[in-house]
Structure 1
Amino acid sequence: MLTSVYLSFVNFSGKRLFAQKVPVFVLIWFVLGSQLPIQAQVRPEVALGELFKDVQMQAVFPDSKTFPDCIPLSSPETILQAYQTEKNKADFNLKAFVLQHFKLPPEPATNFKSDTAQPVSQHINTLWPVLTRQPIPETSSLIPLPHSYVVPGGRFREIYYWDSYFTMLGLQAAGQTQLIQNMVDNFTFLIDTVGFIPNGNRSYYTGRSQPPFYALMVKILRDIKGQQVLKKYGPALQKEYEFWMKGTAELTETNPVNLRVVRLPDGSILNRYYDNFPEPRPEAYKEDVKLAQETGRNKEEVYRHLRAAAESGWDFTSRWFADGKTLKTIHTTDIIPVDLNALLYHLELTLAEVAILNHDTSKENYYNQQANKRKKALINYCWSKKDKYFLDYDFKTSQVTTVPSLAATYLLFFKMATNKQAKAVAKRLKTDFLKPGGLISTPNHTGEQWDAPNAWAPLQWISIQGLRNYRQHKLAKQVKHNWVEINTRVYKSTGKLVEKYNVEATHLEAGGGEYPLQDGFGWTNGVLLKLLSEK
């Protein structure tokens, strides 16, 4: 019986690039693509059951993400049967068993050497091929994509949703149009097969998405190739919107919450972050189980809050903590985030643009109305007159949260704020957020990676552009200067660009998070190159 075959991969001119041995069922999946449900990819936490739990809880690997990314050498059923047979033997060694039955996930090439004599822009352009992955199918949790893509860097072996937009800003500055096209098409493929864009192209991420930047990605491509790009990707934009708005029809005054939609007392509909699976995250399994036990709260609720925070991309931050201090009080799904709703406002306006191209006046009016309703509701519920700042809204307590964050700048980025509000936000940024290396994400020092003293490239870009939209050019220029300076200085001293920076004590590395500081790094490279390319 034929169990595996060699696939030859060729380029468009017919030149053979490489060959890869793959099981027959993977070949069938790869050839048929979207004709087969992508959910058929193995979810290791489900397929491997007790074995998965034991490996993660016993910390067989230092990084909890390693085992979910491992490649099984036979079917999960066969491996589980062997585990049941062998686990009670006196000389049984769990790690040895795993290494016998799984191939470790491929490690990124480590032979790249930085040349700090090069300008940082040249370094970034040299890194694009290093961070680019080819779409080789494998029998693992990895969801095969049809085109090459850029990974963030460091420990990551797959594409990530919101990271990719900021990476694409750099690709745009570098003139890497084909790679931008590939990445937009990969995300479109995920929308068409999964039904939405998951956190990353892993089966264990299919319970959640990430901040909806797809419309902004399409617009990067539109700026390069012309207005018809919007029309081409209109159906996928529509599907993404339907994913975020799913459950709206079931909302009532007595049942105001469903999936990612929330009905507020005045009948307004806004969105929250969520995850479909109330379970520990496979890539942080032991950590999530331990935290849920420590809280003494309902475990499924804690898991959902943790996963929803992962959907936000801000994992973790005091934005999601009831006490504003500790992860044990996380309650993400109780919160209406200002950044998520600003992004969905932009998606609604984009769908109205698509309707204009399709000469569909009815849809144009509908999406403009939805955008206007969202804007009105977001400002009504999230603008704090007391704080003179946009804050997330806790719909369980019917009041804004106590944690100011850079998420407020999304309303400036999408031009949703009044001039007076924007001026007040800028003032707060200058007094509470601006540090020698850039803007901190929140002023709170909690030890979490999305709190002080750390700063992240995507939020610098959103803030700088938002300030420029309201003629706050002096502050925007200062933020840009501080950020470019710390990026460049760290590169000159270490040869690296990293995922986050300590912008208060700029001589120290950033900390916090569930894994060591990563280098690479997609969105840092993208934002820095875009800023450096500005006239």
Structure 2
Amino acid sequence: MAQRDGVFPDSKTLVDCVPAVDPGEIHDRFEREEIGSDLERFVHENFIIPEDPVTEVDASVASMEWYIDGLWDDLIRDPVGTRDGETIIPLPNRSVIPGGRFRESYYWDSYFVAEGLAVTDRIDLLDELAENFASLIDRFGFIPNGNRLYYTTRSNPPLYHRLLDLLAHRRGPEEVLEYLPALEREYGFWMDGADGLERGEAHRRVVGLEEGVLNRYWDDDARPRVESYREDVELAERADRGSESVYRDVRAACESGWDFSSRWFDGEGIETIRTTDIVPVDLNAFLYGMERSLAGWHEYDGDDERAADYRERAAERRRLVDRYCWDAEREFYFDYAWTDGERTDSRSLAAAVPLFTGMATQKQADAITETLEERFLRSGGLVTSLRYSGEQWDAPNGWAPLQWMAIVGLAGYGHEQLAQEIAGRWLDLNREVFDETGRMLEKYDVTGGRDEGGAGGGGEYPLQFGFGWTNGVALALPEFLY
């Protein structure tokens, strides 16, 4: 009722509230009282409303780097407990939140945050993040999208192996071997149902194609998201198909991190979302990276047989991605619509992820580099896609994690000049927006860039500030490139 009536402008606020008294007592009060149109009063009297962290400073007295380093104290959270009726998931160690409406830690955000933490010598936090993820895998069998109970039916782009690689680089490879069982269990989560899967069939996150098995994004629930209940119900009412499939595809897009983007659409608007029909090139590149990491860790640990198995899995995945996602004529990676039996026509920065994970050949990387420079490069960095859909993971927006992966990938294939150009434009935009506003943004408009203020837009919630992964990438890029 409170979600449909819009008690809060942002639906997520309600499910992040903490009961002020015993939840049973709140239920009894609700049954006894005639709430009527006074629902907002009832909620405010019976729940503790969450507050957003303060993330704005006077930019005239602070450099961007100084601000980011000091902001960690506002974004780092002590070990999380829970109160009765609260949606937060307990964690054994400290974590880092993105900021704004995102008051809990998030899976793939945490990796990009970790890159910045490492630069500022907060290596102890890398250990704690790795332990938190291992704890979540132990309890849930995977790492949830975010540190809330309502996120426990889906994950996020699988980057735990990159966090462990970063930790190994800073601490030494022997420091991450204790996490190898957790990483293997996470891999099992993504590959659940792959054995014996027939072609043309799909099970959870695996899809049986004519020549083998690749992965898709999925959510084990097919109901409206409780954190965006009103938005999902209204969307399903506009769509011309069953509401359960709409809810599932919306949730699957949230697992992808690209919530939302025209790359998931079968038409002009979000009403045509079909995420579960898509074999995404970036997801399969991430899993290729996980397989390569698992091979490397097993080899280091002396288990040559397991190492060889994961190397074979990675080689097979690379072959299948080339078969289904690489377009030799257009010389670009595209997502594959497995239900249609053809590639989509959506060009996006997902095509840079195979460079980030080392899955592309040199020839493929050279072609991708040319396209990125000619079609994606703007005054403030790389644009997310070439389509203006009104969704936040499309033009004109640029996002820190996509800049980072593209830059690291380009440099890894010898294209340092373009990598430095992208980094310079992105950091200049970050700095100029900070100098004007005293804030680091969740996303930026990279097309008009500085002349238009640089603030990103679109999507189902207002622009957020803080911001964890923007901060991490802003600190990590100079060290990586220079």
Question: What is the TM-score normalised by the length of structure 1?
Answer: 0.86
Residue 40 (structure 2) pairs with residue 95 (structure 1): yes
Contact 2:59–2:437 (CA under 8 A) maintained in structure 1 = no
1:476 shift after superposition = 1.2
The 10-residue stretch of structure 1 (469-478 or 153-162) with the greater mean CA deviation from structure 2:
469-478
Map of 2:395 onto structure 1: 452
Match of 1:298 in 2: 242
Distance 2:424 2:151 in 1: 36
Summarize deviations over 1:179-213 as a string: whole Å, max 9, x none: 12111111111111121110111000001000001
Task: Give me the whole-angstrom Cα distance separating, in 1, the residues matched to 2:94 and 2:477.
Answer: 25
Structure 2 equivalent of residue 498 of structure 1: 441
2:206·2:214 contact (CA, 8 Å) conserved in 1? yes
CA distance in 1, matches of 2:198, 2:421: 47
Q: Does 1:415 find its partner at 2:358?
A: yes
- Tell me if 1:394 matches 2:361: no
Question: CA 1:207–1:102 in 2, change beyond 3 Å: closer, same or farther?
Answer: same
DSSP-derived class of the 1:303 partner: helix
Residue 359 of structure 1, CA deviation? 1.9
Deviates more, 1:220-229 or 1:433-442: 220-229
Please state how far the C-alpha of 1:75 moved relative to its aligned partner. Answer: 4.5
Structure 2 contact 161–183 (Cα < 8 Å) conserved: yes
TM-score (norm 2): 0.96
Offset of 1:331 from its aligned partner?
Answer: 0.2
Of 67, 75, 78, which aligns to 1:123?
67
Give the secondary-structure state (helix, strand or coil) at the position aligned to 2:371.
Answer: helix
Distance across 1 between alignment mates of 2:132 and 2:10: 27
Q: What's 1:480 paired with?
A: 423
- Equivalent residue, structure 2, for 1:171: 117
Tell me the residue number matched to 1:373: 316
- Out of 143, 160, 168, which is 1:214 matched to? 160
Aligned residues: 476
Correspondence for 1:264: 209
**CA deviation map 1:145-197 (0-9, x unaligned):** 11111110112110011011111111111111111211111111111112111
User: Which residue matches 1:308?
Assistant: 252
Structure 1 position 104 matched with structure 2 position 52: no
Alignment of 1:86 onto 2:33: yes
C-alpha distance in 1 between matches for 2:64 and 2:12: 31
SS at match of 1:66: helix
Contact 1:138 1:144 in 2 (8 A): yes
The equivalent residue for 2:20 is 73
Q: Which has the larger radius of gyration?
A: 1
Identity of aligned residues (%): 45
Distance, in Å, in 1 between the alignment partners of 2:397 and 2:133 is 29
Q: Which residue of the partner structure matches residue 295 of structure 2?
A: 352
Aligned residues of 2:400 and 2:469 also touching (Cα < 8 A):
yes
Q: How far does residue 136 in structure 1 lie from its aligned partner after superposition?
A: 4.1
Q: In the alignment, does 2:140 pair up with 1:194?
A: yes
Give CA deviations for 1:405-437 in whole Å, capped at 9, x if unaligned: 101111111221122211111111111110000
Change (3 A) 1:488 1:107: closer
- Give the Å deviation of 1:334: 0.4
- Three-state SS of the structure 2 residue aligned to 1:263 is strand
Give the corresponding residue for 2:175. Answer: 229
Q: Quick one: which amino acid aligns to residue 42 of structure 2?
A: F
Aligned residue type for 1:165: Y
